[in-house]
Structure 1
Amino acid sequence: MQRHLSAFLLSALALALPILAGPSRADEPMQGLFKAHQACPALQSIRKQTNPGDVKLQPERSYKLLAKNKPDASYYRVEVEGASPPERWVPVDCGETANASGKAPEPAAPAEPGSAAGEGGRAYVFAVSWQPAFCEGLPDKTECRTQTADRFDATHFTLHGLWPQPRRLAYCGVPQADIEADRSKHWDRLPEPVLQPATRRALEQAMPGTASFLDRHEWVEHGSCFFEKSAEAYFSREVALIAQLNASPVRKLFADNIGRQIQASAIRAAFDAGFGAGAGERVRVACKRDGDRRLIVELTIGLRGDVGDNPSLSTLIAGASPTDAGCSAGLVDRVGLQ
């Protein structure tokens, strides 16, 4: 009898040990990709803020998404190849998710508002920057060294890009040599988009990054997949869309609050006021850390429909899917290193 009891206890203990030894995680599994916008520290432990190897994410690179730390996530767990250990935690406002899903999936992020050409038309992400915040992290870029308080981009949104969706839709028909030059950030080696003089002038105002050949990068990676294979059509319509944004209550909200913090809820309300009820639900706010400040650096806006000769931002926003708000609040930065 004692031998049978001992065998039973050993068997029960063997079953219990894997449970006791296994990781006790409250995080929720996710699938998809996380695209970094900043060189954020990649932590092994959120609580201890440990970072073996002083690992940082590479801006504009995508990482395998593994989990979020809670339903209302403040950190995502991603896989960083070459790091030891490779599973790391990064703040949600370090970038954006694409194709994200899991046990408790979040609303679709602007990086993936829908299929490229499904019911309701083509889908896009329209990304616009707040240039002073962008320049805090990259002060040596030509467009940042020359920025002044009276220049257009000090008080207006600027173009980052118009990205056909899904995100895997990139480099359509682009020669391999240009793809390699783009990925290695040798944008000066890329062909210059062919534009009418008036379009070029308007683009240089709306996209100060043309001084660093951002237009070449955007055309090669994203514009090459635009439904009209014409740089003139692609950029002139982007310019038309951002002109509508800069004439809206959203731009006024930012310009009136330079040097102050604003809430994502206020940004979304301004979109509703300017582009119709529900428009704000299609907007995601991206922030970055600058010392002890959290700056609003970019808005990503979901669009769906035909971006034709006279595109309507209101109509295109209304066709997109809702998304999460992203960063809950941030500072509207002013020109100059703070």
Structure 2
Amino acid sequence: MLTLTNSPLLVAKPYQEIKITSTRSIVVCAAAKGPRPRYPRVWKTNKKIGTISKAAKLVQSIKELSNVKEEVYGALDSYVAWELEFPLITVKKALKTLEYEKEWKRIIQVTKWMLSKGQGKTMGSYFTLLNALAEEDRLAEAEELWTKLLMQYTESLPRRFFDKMISIYCKRGMHDKMFEVFADMEELAVRPSISVVSMVGDVFKELEMMDKYEKLHKKYPPPQWEYRYIKGKRVRIKVQGQSNKVDKYIRKRDNVQLNSGLIEDDSSEETSELTDDEQFEQDADVICMESQQISDESYESMEPSLNE
């Protein structure tokens, strides 16, 4: 039989190392059309690219403009034209910056422009617009926005809108409209806050409606429970040692009115010093009781029960 074998010359042939050296640089081309061209950016930030820097750039560009509506809207449209999607987060941060700087006219312009684009239709945007209109004394527009929101979101309207409208009417002395908003709160079963109860109670007292004043405080007493955060947990704690804030306010006013016409004597000074010392001791006892109660009730039930 025939067999195939390697020749001894091929096996004994030594291997040679070959080194390949190249001095050319590799250039990656896109679809064999050459390198991608670079164009200068229109909205280039100074520090870094992000929503914070973009919001600062937007605020800076808006502040330099006049109060003409077309000029402001044109600048905002040119800003949005270079974005693939509407920059809602950037605009919200710009509104927060303007609110911190109390630029109420710019807040009204930017919010109305954003709502006209169909973006940012949230309760936060509406409340920001309502607050800015109230600060600018544009009461007619604020009332129009309030009626629109009340008709559209009757049962889901947050309580802070009612509180804001009551405070607006209370500052301007419009008691009839304030009572109407408070009546709407009662019809919609929205529990008023302590500040609203005190404002409405003061108006009842000024108008000498003592029967309604007493009914108001009987119907809406202060809450018996409060919530505190202990070691990162929300704990419900019963309020002890704290009397009614409204009653304290009434007692102070009544004491001032009763003691305004009295003659100051040495005996009255001594009694006032005694009452101040007793009050100091009572406040110290209350603080000690609260600290002990927090430590004892830190691991109680976490179920929320606001209306108890």
Give the TM-score of the pair, scaled to structure 2. Answer: 0.25
Higher relative contact order (CA closer than 8 Å, sequence separation 6+): 1
Whichever of the two has the greater Rg, that structure is 2
- Pick the structure with more strand per residue: 1
Higher normalized helix content (fraction of residues): 2
